[in-house]
């Protein structure tokens, strides 16, 4: 299969980039739909550098802003190209310490980006896909999800709870955690895919979802702290390197490319795949009533035609609203804050350590000075004692000399006087 137009979201890095590169190498025309223009164009440049004949191009798409999604579709339609496949790859996974954040439309950031942005994009491009399917008999939608959609994998964690259709943005007290938000968004991907596949029956377009596996080297966790990224990439990655648990970027991307291009998947619809094989998704994802409710609620939030519009509540003042810096795999702003926090903590620890060292040196110096002073005083005291003793000895000698001289004088006088007396006589 060559020459077919394929859109890959979040294709500037990670699995998205590798998928786009492989699809280009297969002769397909690939549109890298990314939020960051600089990174998106750089990714296109890398593909062209390795394959000058590649049909790769960049189009700006911010899945965290519904207006940007609509503009992307309008720009695509203006190009007059026929769309064969849509790969919903982009995703956000915030650091576990991150507070609840929001999109331009006041959606919780993770669900808003990973699910609602792709929900609107897919629905606005359905007409294009159906047109292609009518012409060639095949058009495909591939949605990337994660094994973490299954809460039973995290059942020991208190912050992982069942999906609440009445609170999809986790606004309730104590409900939000980054892990829970990500789990819900990946579950929503599957619920959406199953319901979409049901609606697409007999229309020539298929929709399937795939878990590419645990890939330590992906950029999905780049918004986490430096220590967390190191642990995932090098510790866990190293431990599971020789098992089937982890996958490389290339392995994950090739699994996605197979779903998009391989003839064996033609006509396959509404399935969940993992490790290149059909698999069973979680019990929550099999709830047909939940699928329908999520579809209707999502359609209302995205203001789809035929549904009563619904706007998300404005976030409370206590929670600071943040815009995603890079929707391809993460938010740069979160990463910068996390790294700055780590750096500040390191500097603080360094400062405390230096203070302790300085105090120890000062105490040691003071103790040494006191010992020297004490030793000096002892020496002075000994010298003073020696001087005093010498003086006393000198005085004693002086007295002895004086006594001897006096005695001699007396003796001389006594001896002379009798002689003088005799002469006088």
Give pLDDT tens digits for 241-278.
545 556 789 999 999 999 999 999 999 999 999 988 99
> Is 240 in a helix, a strand, or coil?
coil
Q: What is the pLDDT of residue 398?
A: 44
Domain 5-330 belongs to what topology? Rossmann fold (3.40.50)
Going from N- to C-terminal start, the domains of the chain cover 5-330
What is the Cα–Cα distance from 115 to 192, expressed in whole angstroms? 8
pLDDT above 60 (res 235): no
Buried-state track 389-406, b at ≥16 Cβ within 10 A, e below 16? eeeeeeeeeeeeeeeeee
Q: What is the pLDDT of residue 185?
A: 98
Q: What is the pLDDT of residue 3?
A: 84
CA angle at 8 for the pair 31 and 333, rounded to the nearest 5°: 105
- Write out the DSSP string of 50-97: H-TT-EEEEEE--TT-HHHHHHHHHHHHHTTPPEEEEEE-------TT
Residue 113 is classified by DSSP as I
Binned at pLDDT 50, 70 and 90, residue 233 comes out as: very low
Helix H segments across 240-331? 249-261, 288-301
- Which tokens is 248 given? 């490389």
Select which of 176, 182, 194, 272 is catalytic.
182
Give CA separation, 406 vs 397, 402, 403, 409, 416, in Å. Answer: 14, 6, 5, 5, 16
Closest CA to 66 of 296, 293, 292, 304: 304
Question: Is 182 a residue of the active site?
Answer: yes
pLDDT above 90 (res 178): yes
Binned at pLDDT 50, 70 and 90, residue 47 comes out as: very high
Tokens 């001389």 map to which residue?
412
Give pLDDT tens digits for 360-369.
666 666 766 7
pLDDT above 70 (res 346): no
Average pLDDT over residues 175-192: 96
Percent of the chain clearing pLDDT 70 (strictly above): 66
């Amino acid at each position: 299969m060559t020459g077919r137009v394929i859109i890959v979201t979040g294709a500037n890095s990670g699995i998205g980039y590798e998928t786009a590169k492989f699809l280009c190498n297969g002769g397909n025309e690939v549109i890298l739909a990314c939020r960051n223009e600089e990174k998106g164009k750089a990714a296109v440049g890398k593909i062209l550098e390795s394959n000058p004949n590649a049909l790769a191009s960049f189009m700006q798409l911010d899945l965290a802003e519904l207006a940007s999604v609509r503009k992307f579709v309008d720009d695509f339609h203006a190009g007059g190209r026929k769309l064969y496949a849509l790969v919903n790859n982009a995703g956000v996974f915030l650091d576990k310490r991150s507070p609840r954040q929001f999109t331009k439309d006041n959606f919780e950031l993770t669900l808003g980006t990973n699910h609602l942005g792709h929900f609107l994009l897919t629905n606005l491009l359905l007409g294009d896909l159906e047109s292609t399917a009518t012409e060639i008999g095949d058009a495909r939608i591939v949605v990337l999800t994660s094994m973490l959609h299954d809460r039973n994998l995290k059942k020991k964690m208190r912050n992982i709870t069942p999906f609440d259709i009445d609170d999809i943005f986790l606004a309730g007290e104590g409900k939000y955690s980054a892990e829970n938000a990500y789990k819900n968004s990946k579950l929503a991907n599957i619920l959406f895919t199953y319901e979409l596949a049901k609606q697409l029956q007999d229309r020539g377009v298929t929709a399937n979802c795939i878990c590419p596996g645990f890939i330590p080297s992906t950029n999905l966790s780049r918004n986490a702290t430096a220590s967390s990224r190191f642990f995932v990439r090098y510790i866990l990655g190293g431990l599971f390197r020789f098992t089937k648990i982890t996958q490389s970027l290339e392995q994950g991307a090739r699994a996605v490319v197979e779903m998009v291009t391989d003839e064996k998947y033609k006509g396959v619809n509404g399935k969940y795949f993992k490790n290149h094989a059909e698999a069973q998704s979680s019990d929550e994802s099999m709830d047909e009533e939940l699928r329908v409710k999520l579809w209707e609620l999502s359609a209302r939030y995205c203001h789809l035609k035929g549904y009563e519009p619904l706007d998300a509540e404005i976030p409370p003042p206590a929670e600071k609203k943040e815009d995603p810096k890079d929707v391809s795999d993460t938010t740069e702003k979160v990463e910068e804050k996390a790294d700055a926090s780590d750096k500040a903590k390191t500097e603080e620890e360094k400062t405390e350590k230096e203070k302790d060292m300085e105090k120890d040196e000062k105490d040691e110096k003071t103790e040494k000075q006191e010992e020297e002073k004490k030793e000096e005083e002892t020496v002075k005291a000994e010298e003073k004692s020696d001087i005093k003793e010498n003086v006393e000895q000198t005085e004693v000698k002086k007295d002895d000399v004086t006594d001897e001289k006096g005695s001699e004088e007396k003796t001389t006088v006594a001896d002379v006087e009798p002689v003088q007396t005799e002469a006088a006589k």
